Amino acid sequence: MTVATIGKPLSTDDLHAILNGACILGCGGGGPLSLGSSLLTQIIQQGTVYLADPINDLPDDALTAIAAGVGSPLAASEGFPFDVASIAFKSLDDRQAAASGKHFSFVLPAEVGAGNSIVPMTVAVKLGLPIIDADGARRAIPELDMVTYASHNLPISPIVLANATQAITFYAPNPAVAGVTADGIISGGAFTEDAGISLWSMTGADVKAAAIPHTMSYARDLGIALKQTLAEQKDPVEAVRAYLDGTVIFKGTIDSTSQTTEGGFDFGTLVLKNERGRLTIYNQNENLIAWSSLSPKPLALAPDLICYLTTDGQPFTNADLDLAQGKEIAVIAASCLPQMRVPAILDKFLKALKSLGYAGSYVPVEELLKGSVQ
């Protein structure tokens, strides 16, 4: 791999805007804000991140792969080594080069989130590669088979998991098996519930066919809108709602929380209250369903977005609930992209929802909110 400056350099302001925008788009998951903030400090010290446009900067025959962190966000909030994603990515690159004679020349994110938008940047800055302005969801997702790389049937293997001391390579026939295998390895004790991961080696042509373009810049522009609104002393919740073209489904304070970690996932419930009622949000790392005590049906179901921020403009995740304790919280529901509503992805979200006790069908958020009391 060689140093590349393809794309546009991201300023410090850009990086912080991406962090805050991605935190909101992470829908409660995607890695803790504290992790992203810590990694950004090190990224800024190490060099410049270049953001490559997937349409104009990415040759069809270029090679890339996903770099990410995987596992429990609560575990990641206690410490996620800067180099582990690079170790996984470099190990996969060595295999790619041995097989094809070509190295990876770009880094590709898996999803949007306060952790998993930033983790690929650690690889980019350490290995001197541009990061592609694209990913597989434009939100955070709890399972590998919920991204567009999976719905387009791109080969996921080989897969490398790494921590600071070891890298494990394995093969899986599909993302579902890969996810179960990775969860088993991570929860086995050697990786303390999180790890760096690299997978889905692909060409530039594959990226153009399967990835959602301009997701990093979408997160950046959301973060910029939030920062400008706060500087102008305007309503940050309305700025985020307008940017997402969403609906504020609840404002209230935390009434109760519960969280358990199992198999590399954090499963939890957050109950918010106000003078009119309660909103209960169930998550598997990411927020998957929101129920109001005033409605007989859910207000939103994943893959549609269920996003948080405090009414004074602080983004947070389910691993950063301390940032929201004692503050009023706004919950915004917004439509996901059409690429996330294809049967191959909806079926996977419904499976996750069923594990949380929801046995109904998927209904788009714009339909659920018709006539709902909020």
pLDDT value at residue 75: 60
pLDDT value at residue 253: 98
The 10s digit of each residue's pLDDT in 219-259 is 999 999 999 999 999 999 999 999 999 999 999 999 999 88
For 350, what's the count of Cα atoms within 13 Å in the CB-facing half-sphere? 13
pLDDT at residue 79 tops 70: no
Quickly tell me which residue has 């153009």 as its tokens. Answer: 208
Non-local (6+) Cβ contacts of 130 within 8 A are: 4, 5, 6, 7, 50, 51, 52, 57, 106, 107, 124
| In the chain, domain spans | 8-215, 235-368
The verdict on domain 235-368 having CATH code 3.40.710.10 is: no
Share above pLDDT 90 across residues of the chain, in percent, rounded to a whole number: 82
pLDDT value at residue 186: 81
User: Confidence band (pLDDT; 50, 70, 90) for 184?
Assistant: confident
pLDDT value at residue 329: 98
pLDDT value at residue 364: 98
Phi-psi region of 361 (alpha: psi -120 to 50; beta: other; left: phi over 0): beta
Of the candidates 298, 325, 295, the residue with the CA atom closest to the CA atom of residue 308: 325
User: Confidence band (pLDDT; 50, 70, 90) for 372?
Assistant: low
pLDDT at residue 349 tops 70: yes
Using an 8 Å Cβ cutoff, are 219 and 112 in contact? yes
pLDDT at residue 70 tops 90: no
Q: Where are the beta strands (DSSP E) in 10-111?
A: 50-52, 63-71, 106-108
User: Confidence band (pLDDT; 50, 70, 90) for 302?
Assistant: very high
The 10s digit of each residue's pLDDT in 100-146 is 999 999 999 999 999 999 999 999 999 999 999 999 999 999 999 99
pLDDT value at residue 55: 95
Average pLDDT of span 71-91? 80
pLDDT value at residue 78: 64
- The mean predicted confidence, pLDDT, of the chain is 93
CA quadruple 331, 336, 341, 346: dihedral, nearest 10: -40
User: What single-letter DSSP state applies at residue 53?
Assistant: P
| The total number of residues written for the chain in this structure | 374
Average pLDDT of span 339-366? 96
pLDDT value at residue 1: 41
pLDDT at residue 336 tops 60: yes
Using an 8 Å Cβ cutoff, are 148 and 112 in contact? no
The CATH-assigned architecture of domain 8-215 is 3-Layer(aba) Sandwich (3.40)
pLDDT value at residue 3: 44
Average pLDDT of span 149-178? 95
Using an 8 Å Cβ cutoff, are 294 and 276 in contact? yes
pLDDT value at residue 346: 98
pLDDT value at residue 190: 67
pLDDT value at residue 192: 66
Residue type, 107: V
